[in-house]
Structure 1
Amino acid sequence: MPLVRIDAPPTHDDATLTALGDAVHQAMTETIDVPADDFFQIITRHEAGQVRYDPGYLGITRDDGIVFISLTLRVGRLNSQKKALYARIGELAKESAGIEPRNVFVNLTENSESDWSFGEGVAQYLN
């Protein structure tokens, strides 16, 4: 059910971004109870100058290895689950994709069951 969007500068190659996508999915299955077959991702590598960021906001040193990970999911996870998710994404991004946790920016957007259709013009969660 989560929709994952990963946006990255041109410094990351296809293999790195694929590994990152797999790492994000693994983190979701381990920390916020996402089923293994619930896999929907959009990965976009942008041209130079199209990914902008503050290199020191909140005292975190970022560089062109940055990635933006946006998750849209149903409301209901506890803050402790979200904190575990962020930590696990950072760990797996480093292990699997070689992306430093300092360069992993994660954003969650929550919505309700009525905000999803997985195809065929049907609100599957409302049936």
Structure 2
Amino acid sequence: MPLMKIHVLKGRTSAEIEQLLDGIHQAMVTAFKVPERDLYQILNEHEPAHFRALDTGLDIPRTDKFIMVEVVTRPRSQTEKIQFYEGLCQVLHERCDIGSSDVMISMVENTDEDWSFGLGRAQFLLGDLATHRPGK
């Protein structure tokens, strides 16, 4: 948690996808201070005719490296969100040669009662996660 939904155009190699997913995870762990094993990612590849993303009139150039990241998460502070936006663009530029103009991010917030990680349990509400976190 958070759950990352990543949308890209088809055509990347397996190695490029692995670098992309690892970079997104690194940025999320750094900005949100979550454990390394908080890893929930879904990557969807789209044909060019099925994936459109303009720039809301901001004159932001897009290329075929464009990615859209939807983050489903518990509430985060404004500072954490800005750190994630900036950190994600930086790590994707360094690892994947994706420019910040090709990174779109949307946050979707929910609460602890909206998560079950399995076993039919609401782990956040029942306190299950506190006993499995490093250092606790």
Question: Normalising by structure 2, what TM-score?
Answer: 0.86
CA–CA distance in 1 between the matches of 2:103 and 2:48? Answer: 18
Displacement after TM superposition at 1:17 (Å): 2.0
Which consecutive aligned stretches of 4+ in structure 1 deviate over 3 angstroms post-superposition?
A: none
Displacement after TM superposition at 1:12 (Å): 2.7
Q: Is the 8 A contact 1:2 1:74 kept in 2?
A: yes
CA–CA distance in 2 between the matches of 1:54 and 1:98? Answer: 20
Instruction: Name 2:132's counterpart in structure 1.
Output: none
Q: How does 1:1-127 map to 2 (within 5 A)?
A: 1-54=1-54, 57-75=57-75, 77-127=76-126
Which runs of no fewer than 5 residues in structure 1 stay unpaired?
none
Q: Is the 8 A contact 1:11 1:64 kept in 2?
A: no
Displacement after TM superposition at 1:55 (Å): 5.5
Q: 1:12 to 1:126 in 2, by over 3 A?
A: same
Displacement after TM superposition at 1:38 (Å): 0.5
Per-residue CA distance 1:68-121 (angstroms, 9 max, x = gap): 11110101x211111111000001011111211110111111100000011111
Which runs of no fewer than 5 residues in structure 2 stay unpaired?
127-136
DSSP-derived class of the 1:120 partner:
coil
Amino acid at match of 1:96: R
CA–CA distance in 2 between the matches of 1:13 and 1:33? Answer: 30
Q: Which has the higher Rg, Structure 1 or Structure 2?
A: 2
CA–CA distance in 1 between the matches of 2:40 and 2:63? Answer: 27
Displacement after TM superposition at 1:11 (Å): 3.8
The percentage of aligned residue pairs carrying the same residue is 33
Question: Normalising by structure 1, what TM-score?
Answer: 0.92
Note the aligned Cα RMSD (angstroms). Answer: 1.4
CA–CA distance in 2 between the matches of 1:99 and 1:9? Answer: 13
